[in-house]
Structure 1
Amino acid sequence: MSVASLTGIDRGSNQSRAGEIALAHNGILFFDEFPNFSKAVLESLREPLEDHRVLISRVNTKVSYATKFLFAAAQNPCPCGNLFSQTHECRCSEVEISRYKNRISEPIMDRIDLYVQMSEESSKEQGLDSKAMFDHVLHAFIMQKKRGQNELNGKLDEHNTMHFCTLDSQAKESLEMAQSRFGLSQRSIHKILRIARTIADLAQSDIITQEYLLEALSFRKR
């Protein structure tokens, strides 16, 4: 994938057009094998993920496209993919693993809300079926609307994050401890609050308790 196809910004053309980022507005944009994309492509995600907008400038015009999409990306734990496998041996050196992970810059990583390490599939494991998942998400969405939010939790600005993400006393204390221990930035704090708000919504809770806040903290990048 090229930067032009992703953003619609083609330096050699006088025409503006919507790229994959703009076409994903109100939808999902998924990157598989995330570190294998070029640095230019990865860095072009910074503005759309932060400002929810991509600006295309031409000689006589400027076009702005909204980019409020759900961004998801997947990557292996190492180049060969077997680092955490219980059945296959990893063939990668520490240098190769470090180089692989470092292809994604810290500013890009900082714009991703949830980090989940997947384990190998087990035929004995059973989770929620699609209908149950749909019902959980629908009920959480209804709670957000009842609060009077114009945006979904993940797209709340700083002011509305502080307004709608109400913590109980224990949750506030835990957040302050986490901020001091991990040196969390304001961006990180707002991200944690929005995740905790969603977890509470899935549990049909109006208040973010310590349980939901700690779960949100567990999704931070390690």
Structure 2
Amino acid sequence: MYAHVYGIALLGLHGIAVQVELDLANGLPSFDLVGLPDSSVREAKDRVRAAVRNSGFEFPLKRITANLAPANVRKEGSGFDLCLALGILLAADTLPEHALRETAAVGELALDGTVRPVRGMLPMAFAAREQGLRTLLVPAENAQEAAVVSQLTVIPVRSLRDACLHLSGERVIAPMAPPCYGDDSASGSSDAGEALDFADIKGQHHVKRALEIAAAGGHNALLLGPPGSGKTMLAKRLPTILPPLTEEESLEVTQVYSVSGKGAHLGGLIRTRPFRTPHHTISAGGLIGGGTIPQPGEVSLAHGGVLFLDELPEFSKGALEVLRQPLEDARVTISRTQAAFTFPSRFVLVAAMNPCPCGYFGSDFKPCTCSPAQISRYRHKISGPLLDRLDLHIEVPRVKHEDLVGPVDGETSATVRQRVLLAREIQRARFPGRPFPLNAGMNPADTRDCCSLSADAAALLRDAFDLLGLSARAYERILKVARTIADLEISSEIQAHHLAEAVQYRSLDRKYWE
């Protein structure tokens, strides 16, 4: 007796359709899995046997061989349980012959036959559609996520018995309706960020201006100031002035969270920009991703949003140095023996740190207790190449008492976001068709073509380069930031005051690291 069904394997951010072939032969009862399964797939034998029996079906006392094709692709995870169980019942004539035609099944089985959710459902659903399959049986908790994929009928099942009754036509399960992109009820977004607003911040007007520039051009920023000056509060409000995710960006972000196992409880598309705040004890692997079967790290979970690194010098040197490739290339590539896995990592980095270990160097209200050697060691934990990749260096002073007790006079996030949206529209028109049409992503040729300087601005930049001892990368960063400032003012040419403001955001190159 022979049958075949389709399952889906997960490789990085991509799914691949797997044909699961079942052969039931006479002989001593056994259950063999071939086709490069890992230990979690091999363990499916015991789960499937118990689930079939406890669902009220007879498990065939045959010599069962299951082949997972293509055999040269490693299969991992518990998502093959459901298709294995259905394939065995199909081969044993418990299900009608046509039941699983043009159908794939994904899900983990409990011993009582309950279907449990799995990670990576969204890329699996895309793989099913690309294979030409029309129907996908998925755990009920994953159904809304899978239904995002058009031209695919998604059937939510809660147990193996429910799946069998549906396939035999005895109790048909209604397919999951595809979510509407504009419908927030189908979104995985949280309303927690809606309570945050730029208007909550009293004082710090120049810091809010710098964060507006960062949001408009996609620039990375370093906030430097004493404890309690509001660095974390400011960083948390940066997502509120970023444009909403486009549908394409939502799909990318949702796939990352789905593969990492953080998407099943959200359902549908993720609509809000991620804001990730890893603790400074995180390892390099936790930051960029890793593992035997690589998983996305924090830089990929922040894709499309903001990665906030508080107390930057407290992170290990290894963790900080691995940030250089994601910041430059907007992606992470992790190589393993069997394959190389690439995860997206396009985000705005906001880092915060104190000026010294005690936090009060240069303070006008509390003396610093650090020795010069301690201060030097603390600051030089941030390497020059990493510092060059932080476009904006922003000093965050202590908030004054009159600002705290005075009336709220700052702009709301909605007002600032409108200016950011307008500046980004200018950049999108400047770089049509690019996946990252922002000034922060300009290459050297773009910088030459798009950053035309007035005579006064050119002279100012020449003097700043010599006085500050800027690197070539810092020189380009200044031009990119100046281009964003000009875009916020809807100016086609970079003027001297645009460049002067951009230069002041690189003053830490000399002031704190000389």
Counterpart of 1:185 (choices 471, 479, 496) is: 471
CA distance in 1, matches of 2:389, 2:422: 26
Structure 2 residue matching 1:103: 3-state secondary structure: coil
Counterpart of 1:58 (choices 328, 333, 336) is: 336
Counterpart residue number, 1:214? 500
Deviation at 1:71, TM superposition (A): 0.6
Q: Which amino acid aligns with 1:139?
A: L
Deviation per residue, 1:117-145 (Å, 9 max, x gap):
11111243454332332222122112222
Residue 283 of structure 2 is aligned to residue 2 of structure 1: yes
The structure-2 alpha-carbon separation of the partners of 1:201 and 1:39, relative to structure 1 and needing over 3 Å to count, comes to: same
Structure 2 residue matching 1:55: 3-state secondary structure: strand
Deviation per residue, 1:56-88 (Å, 9 max, x gap):
010110012222110110001111112233222
Q: Which has the higher strand share?
A: 2
Counterpart residue number, 1:99? 377
Structure 2 residue matching 1:208: 3-state secondary structure: coil
CA distance in 1, matches of 2:373, 2:284: 28
Q: Which amino acid aligns with 1:146?
A: A
CA distance in 1, matches of 2:452, 2:473: 17
Residue 444 of structure 2 is aligned to residue 158 of structure 1: yes
The alignment's TM-score, normalised by the length of structure 2, stands at 0.41
Counterpart of 1:203 (choices 489, 492, 499) is: 489
Counterpart residue number, 2:428? 145
Deviation per residue, 1:135-174 (Å, 9 max, x gap):
2212211222233453111111222222222222221222
Q: Which has the higher helix share?
A: 1
CA distance in 1, matches of 2:421, 2:463: 33
Of stretches 154-163 and 94-103 in structure 1, the one that deviates more from structure 2 is 154-163
Counterpart residue number, 1:33? 311
Of stretches 141-150 and 38-47 in structure 1, the one that deviates more from structure 2 is 141-150
Counterpart residue number, 1:79? 357
Structure 1 residue matching 2:402: 3-state secondary structure: coil
Structure 2 residue matching 1:139: 3-state secondary structure: helix
Deviation at 1:181, TM superposition (A): 4.1
CA distance in 1, matches of 2:410, 2:462: 34
CA distance in 1, matches of 2:368, 2:467: 33
Counterpart residue number, 1:135? 418
Of stretches 37-46 and 144-153 in structure 1, the one that deviates more from structure 2 is 144-153
Counterpart of 2:454 (choices 168, 171, 178) is: 168
Deviation at 1:206, TM superposition (A): 1.6
The alignment yields a C-alpha RMSD, in angstroms, of 1.8
Paired residues in the alignment total: 219
The structure-2 alpha-carbon separation of the partners of 1:195 and 1:131, relative to structure 1 and needing over 3 Å to count, comes to: same
The structure-2 alpha-carbon separation of the partners of 1:77 and 1:215, relative to structure 1 and needing over 3 Å to count, comes to: same
Structure 1 residue matching 2:296: 3-state secondary structure: coil
The alignment's TM-score, normalised by the length of structure 1, stands at 0.91
CA distance in 2, matches of 1:109, 1:177: 21
CA distance in 2, matches of 1:53, 1:118: 30
The structure-2 alpha-carbon separation of the partners of 1:92 and 1:190, relative to structure 1 and needing over 3 Å to count, comes to: same
The structure-2 alpha-carbon separation of the partners of 1:89 and 1:177, relative to structure 1 and needing over 3 Å to count, comes to: closer
**Runs of at least 5 residues in structure 1 that lack an aligned partner in the other structure:** none
